[in-house]
Amino acid sequence: QVQLVESGGGLVQAGGSLRLSCAASGRTSSTYSMGWFRQAPGKEREFVARISWTVSRTDYADSVKGRFTISRDYAKNTVYLQMNSLKPEDTAVYYCAASGKVGAPSLVYEYAYWGQGTQVTVSS
Distance CA 54, CA 58 (A): 11
Mean pLDDT of all residues belonging to the chain = 95
Query: Tell me, what's the pLDDT at 74?
Result: 87
Distance CA 113, CA 71 (A): 18
Bridge partners (DSSP) listed for residue 11? 121
Is the confidence at residue 56, as pLDDT, over 80?
A: no
Length of the chain in residues, anyone?
124
The string of DSSP codes covering 6-25 is EE--EEEETT--EEEEEEEE
**How close are the terminal C-alpha atoms of the chain, in Å?**
40
Q: What is the mean pLDDT of residues 57-63?
A: 96
Query: Tell me, what's the pLDDT at 102?
Result: 86
Residue 123: which pLDDT band, with cuts at 50, 70 and 90? Answer: very high
Q: What is the mean pLDDT of residues 42-59?
A: 92
Is the confidence at residue 30, as pLDDT, over 90?
A: no
Q: What is the mean pLDDT of residues 91-103?
A: 94
